[in-house]
Amino acid sequence: MKVKDKVIVVTGGGNGIGRELVLSLLRRGSQVAALDINGQALEQTKALADEAVRERLSLHTINIGDKEAVDLLPAQIIKRHGAVDAIINNAGIVQPFVKVNDLDLQVIERLCHVNFFGALYMIKAFLPHLLKRPSAHIVNVASMGGFIPIPGQSIYGATKAALKLLTEGLISELAGTPVDVSIVFPGAINTNILVNSGLELPRSTREKELRFRPMAAGKAANIIIDGMEKGKQRIFAGKDSMMLNLFYRISPGLASKLVARAMKSLLS
């Protein structure tokens, strides 16, 4: 599906990859409904867009983990833009870099509500409308943590693995319909996801993260949109994600050990 002149809903549009998705889609001629729990962050995204394209952007402050609020969205967005052609479930949060035994249950439940149920609520709310379009698209942003275990992010990875399998199920269920479905596996991306998840890490930990040479969020956003337009079902944003996927398929045990060794410093 070409994104020009299409109406696309983007969750997590106030920061990181979500913000860059909004800006890139606007540059490519889309109408965009940007969603985020942080209204001020959405206003900052709007301010970064060229003034000439801002009329094609609407802002919606919402907690996607609130099903009742999500259920009201399609009518609001269709009233503003006339239709909905695609949704990009990009919003997500990570957990503190601690082991499952040390992770508070409230944090676990929040991860599940945002990363999995939030995307599911969006799909359930918008899919009936997408099925009526000549062509439509659902994009779910998972993580390489959704196919390979990352110590200290076990629950985060579990939510992304659930999103992965949900997406793959949708690909099968929606075959033969106007709705294409894609799953995205970002590698290390330079975003503020830790801060936006309510976490504060020591500077030394942030410096350790940067050693992994994260990809710029804007580049990741363009990879995702290009993948949409090409109809790719699996989109890898970053060579690290692509190579780890291949390595894990060949030798799951060895790949997991190497990732655990590389991430050990973030847990210490």
Catalytic positions: 156
Buried b (16+ CB within 10 A) or exposed e, 30-54: bbbbbbbbeeebbeebbeebeeebe
Please tell me what DSSP assigns to residue 95: -
CA-based max dimension of the chain:
52
How many other CB atoms sit within 10 Å of the CB of residue 126?
23
User: For residues 197 and 113, is the Cβ–Cβ distance under 8 A?
Assistant: no
CA within 13 Å, CB half, 116: 18
User: For residues 24 and 30, is the Cβ–Cβ distance under 8 A?
Assistant: no
Q: At 108, give phi and psi (nearest 5°).
A: -60, -45
